[in-house]
Amino acid sequence: VAFFDAVINLKPKELKHYGKLYSDAQHILRTILALDAWTQSGALNAITSASDTDVAEILFLCRRFGSVIKTVVRTPSLLDYPDIQHLFGVSSAAQVDESEGQNIESQRTVQATSFIHGPALALVNRHQQSASKVDSIKLPKNIVDDMIRRTLLERLNAVIDKVDSMTRKSRAFELCTRFLTAKQCAGKDDGTCWRDHVHEKDLNIQQFNSRFRMHILSISFIDCFTAIDRSFTEERSRVTKQKIWIARLFRLCYPPTSRYGNLSDITPELIPEYSSVMPTVKSWLHEGFRSLRPGVQSHFFLTNLLMTSLLATAFDQKEADTYLWRGQWSMDYQAALWEGLIQPTNKLPVAGSAIRWFDKATRSRTNLGKHFLDHVLSGRVRLDIDVAIAFAEELCAQLILNHYSHTYTGFDGLTMPRSWIIRAFARGHSLQTNGSIPWSFTGTLGIFLEVLTLKRDPGQLQMQGRPLRDILLPARSNGIARICRCLALIGCNIARARDPVMDVLRRLGKSPPFRPEFLGYATSRNWTEVVKTLTASSTPSNLDELINIRQKGIIISSVSGIKTITCPNGKILLTNLQLSPHAPVIALQCGALLGNGGQAPQKATSNEEEKLQLESVASTAEDQKSALIIQAFFRRHRRRAGGPIPAAFEDLVRKLDGAVETDRLSEHLLLCLRGPLPHVLAYLKTFHETCQTATEVVTKEMQTKNHEMLDELREKKDEIRSIHREVKKISKDIHPSSEFYCHGLSKILVSVSDIVERVQQIPLLVSKIREFADCPEDADYELGFSPS
């Protein structure tokens, strides 16, 4: 009675209690009723003004609401249960005999109180409408069921849109940077500034992780958004939401000031839903990266590429390695050339230089990163300046770490902010020594300062979507201070680079006006004053203090404002750097830290998350590796392939199940046959047509070209035919009718690793055919791309 009273009168507090209670008990019927009423009770309005804990609780319940709606939509049999029908105001009607028994059709009765009575009424003939407005309506079962699912998804999408809109102006999501740095904000008193105004002494790692938790919970809930009609508008809305939230997550992880936490502070153990929510975040990053191409929204191409790459490699380096080189960033050559995304010297995509920096095995990665920044600062490309600064900081930290990694004294004397050290170890040092790069990189940072102070034309560089030249100095000053800090840290760690650093800072001092954020650097007369400014800017921060690493037994001279720690190995280093008993997630990407002291977060053990695993135990390491590949595919593709191909694979499953008398089919194999392989085969059909078209084009060329060109065209045609033969061979092997899946009289079933090995040949063939024809990009064949 109390529950129905709360539903009827829309009591938010009681509905929240019942929503938690019934969702924990996995009672679908009551969970839908409680949470649907809760979303309509005005509880969501608290998102804009509530505390971070309360907002996180609201988002957690929203995520459960999305989950239970998706469960009903994806489980058609649930609508046959009388209790579920009663909730939705429908009932099963007797079968109707039409045309003298020739067509017997199941029907449902839609009651006048049903939430789908209005849409159902629109399907009734006009002469019946007057009588049907207050009466029940009988319609075919499939129509009623589709109407229920559609209406549920529409209600869910409406809630998602509302939450998405309200979180963009939520006080709990964003801190006021001006209040934090200048200790004042004019908008705080008059109410025009909606951000949270927190004193620096109140900032801690728990609060930062609470904000990160709200971001990933929002992403997880917004991921439930469904393009019901598959229309361009719906798909575009979903993609837009995705890009906006990736950008918001990036700004949280790479804030304009280090005083309230950053990427190095994300700690899985402080976020209850981390294990269950992060796969969605990683999937978004993967999907977002794979969709980027220079010819589509070129204004944001490079910005989105860098944001996605920086986050993806920080959250899971191994998974990111599986797709960073499989993106579309090298396509649309003419569009890329027009947008300045092609390097003038070697005619290669400039995005490649940035992506190669993330590859730890690339010997010249530091030089490639610097080369990328040089091209960006030339002003020929559109890139958000905050993203460029974040990349410059990462490159600077890696440059400093690389300097120490190639010296006999090891890391003794290394001085950087705490978060920089953690990220630098995670990004890894280069296999090649720095050489003269510190000096040339100092010059690059000098150009960066000239661009930020507008002494040099910023070209197409932007800040928050506006041309950088239109941004006032107060908004640019934090970026200037961050680049000055990079220069100071290079001088602190590489003594021979101090003179060029001082030259850059003196040039900055010749062009007033100065802002408090970088005044100390611009007016420094010697190196001692630079160090004093550096330590002064780091001292107020409890979350990102300046650290000096020393080896055990070495006498140290303490410098005011710099914390000295002694650590002979990575285990002690991580212990001294982390602000909680648990390791931050980015430290888990570093072998030097993880192998000695860090511990990877344990996999979720709840019943809900165990269901997400492909199988409880894999037979071999190779099968487990293949299972991860398939699992990654399911994170990218949210629905099965259509058409007759999946039906043929279902027939194959039944055939194989009958052939195996002792053991049931492996779940790895079942998921592979029902999920990725139909997509792969469908893509190979497109690939086959591409090869045919390319052959026809060359044949026509041979009929019109001169005799001297025929030999070259014959070679081209032979190469295309060779590729075509390989495509047909793979298609024949993995076709459902192939004997590849069950060998001989012994009835030995194919292993998942054999399937993956066969499909691994496709990416190479795709790259070959692109020399002769425009082959469509598709993620389906990536089943065979191993996440090594």
Residue 684 to residue 686: CA distance in whole angstroms: 5
CA 81 to centroid of chain Cα atoms: 38
Q: Are 688 and 724 in contact (CB under 8 A)?
A: yes
624 occurs within a structural domain: yes
Total-model pTM: 0.75
What's phi and psi for 343, nearest 5 deg?
-70, 130
User: 10 Å Cβ neighbour count for 492?
Assistant: 25
Cα–Cα separations (whole angstroms), residue 219 to 128, 214, 281, 404: 45, 9, 7, 39
* Token output for 56: 């996180």
Residue 569 to residue 560: CA distance in whole angstroms: 25
Pairing label, strands 562-566, 546-550:
parallel
Task: Single out the residue in 149, 171, 193 at which a domain terminates.
Answer: 171
What's phi and psi for 414, nearest 5 deg?
-60, 130
Nearest to 520 by CA among 480, 550, 556: 480
Residue 119 to residue 122: CA distance in whole angstroms: 5
Same domain, 138 and 268: no
Task: Single out the residue in 171, 196, 212 at which a domain terminates.
Answer: 171
211 occurs within a structural domain: no
Q: Across the 788 residues of the chain, what is the mean pLDDT of every consecutive 10-residue run? A: 90 93 90 94 92 94 94 87 88 59 67 84 64 75 90 94 93 86 79 84 89 96 88 85 94 88 92 92 91 87 95 91 81 87 85 89 89 92 95 96 86 90 90 89 95 93 92 92 96 93 93 88 93 84 84 61 78 78 82 46 36 32 50 49 68 71 61 75 83 88 76 83 88 82 60 76 78 64 37
Cα–Cα separations (whole angstroms), residue 171 to 23, 55, 193, 262, 265: 28, 10, 9, 18, 21
Contacts of range 183-188, beta carbons closer than 8 Å, 24 or more positions apart = none
- 3-state SS assignment for residue 168: coil
Residue 750 to residue 53: CA distance in whole angstroms: 50
Residue 500 to residue 49: CA distance in whole angstroms: 49
Same domain, 339 and 462: yes
Q: Are 331 and 296 in contact (CB under 8 A)?
A: no
208 occurs within a structural domain: no
Is the sign of the CA dihedral 451, 455, 460, 466 positive or negative? positive
Residue 601 to residue 628: CA distance in whole angstroms: 17
DSSP string over 512-567 = ----TTTHHHHT--SHHHHHHHHHHHHTT-SSS-EEEEE-TT------TTEEEEE-
DSSP 342: B
Angle formed at CA 462 by CA 460 and CA 466, multiple of 5 degrees:
110
Peptide bond into 513 cis (omega under 30): yes
Nearest to 17 by CA among 41, 35, 42, 1: 35
Q: Are 124 and 144 in contact (CB under 8 A)?
A: no
| Buried b or exposed e, range 51-64, using 16+ CB within 10 angstroms | ebeebbbbbbbbbb
Q: Are 194 and 48 in contact (CB under 8 A)?
A: yes
What was the pLDDT predicted at 381? 92
User: 10 Å Cβ neighbour count for 328?
Assistant: 16
Residue type, 771: E
DSSP 201: G
Same domain, 493 and 624: no
282 occurs within a structural domain: yes
Same domain, 561 and 628: no
| Count of domains forming the chain | 3
What was the pLDDT predicted at 600? 40
DSSP string over 227-283 = -TT--HHHHHHHHHHHHHHHHHHHHHHS-SSGGG--GGG--GGG-TTHHHHHHHHHH
Angle formed at CA 621 by CA 626 and CA 425, multiple of 5 degrees:
90
What was the pLDDT predicted at 307? 96
Q: Over 461-506, what HEC string results?
A: CEECCEEHHHCCHHHHHHHHHHHHHHHHHHHHHCHHHHHHHHHHHH
Same domain, 532 and 631: no
User: Helices 676-704 & 621-636, crossing angle to 10 degrees?
Assistant: 70
Q: Are 244 and 186 in contact (CB under 8 A)?
A: no
Same domain, 590 and 653: no
Residue type, 53: T
Question: What is the extent of the structural domain holding 15?
Answer: 1-171
Same domain, 545 and 634: no
Task: Single out the residue in 121, 137, 171 at which a domain terminates.
Answer: 171
Same domain, 360 and 448: yes
* Token output for 466: 């506006």
What was the pLDDT predicted at 615? 27
Same domain, 396 and 537: yes
* Token output for 88: 């939705």
Same domain, 489 and 546: yes
Residue 32 to residue 68: CA distance in whole angstroms: 7
User: 10 Å Cβ neighbour count for 335?
Assistant: 16
User: Helices 301-315 & 385-405, crossing angle to 10 degrees?
Assistant: 40
What was the pLDDT predicted at 745? 40
- 3-state SS assignment for residue 755: helix
What's the burial of 538, exposed, middle or buried (CB within 10 Å: 0-12/13-18/19+)?
buried
767 occurs within a structural domain: yes
DSSP string over 7-45 = HHHT-HHHHHHHHHHHHHTT-HHHHHHHHHHHHTTTGGG
Is the sign of the CA dihedral 714, 717, 723, 726 positive or negative? negative
Same domain, 574 and 668: no
Same domain, 15 and 149: yes
Residue 376 to residue 391: CA distance in whole angstroms: 11
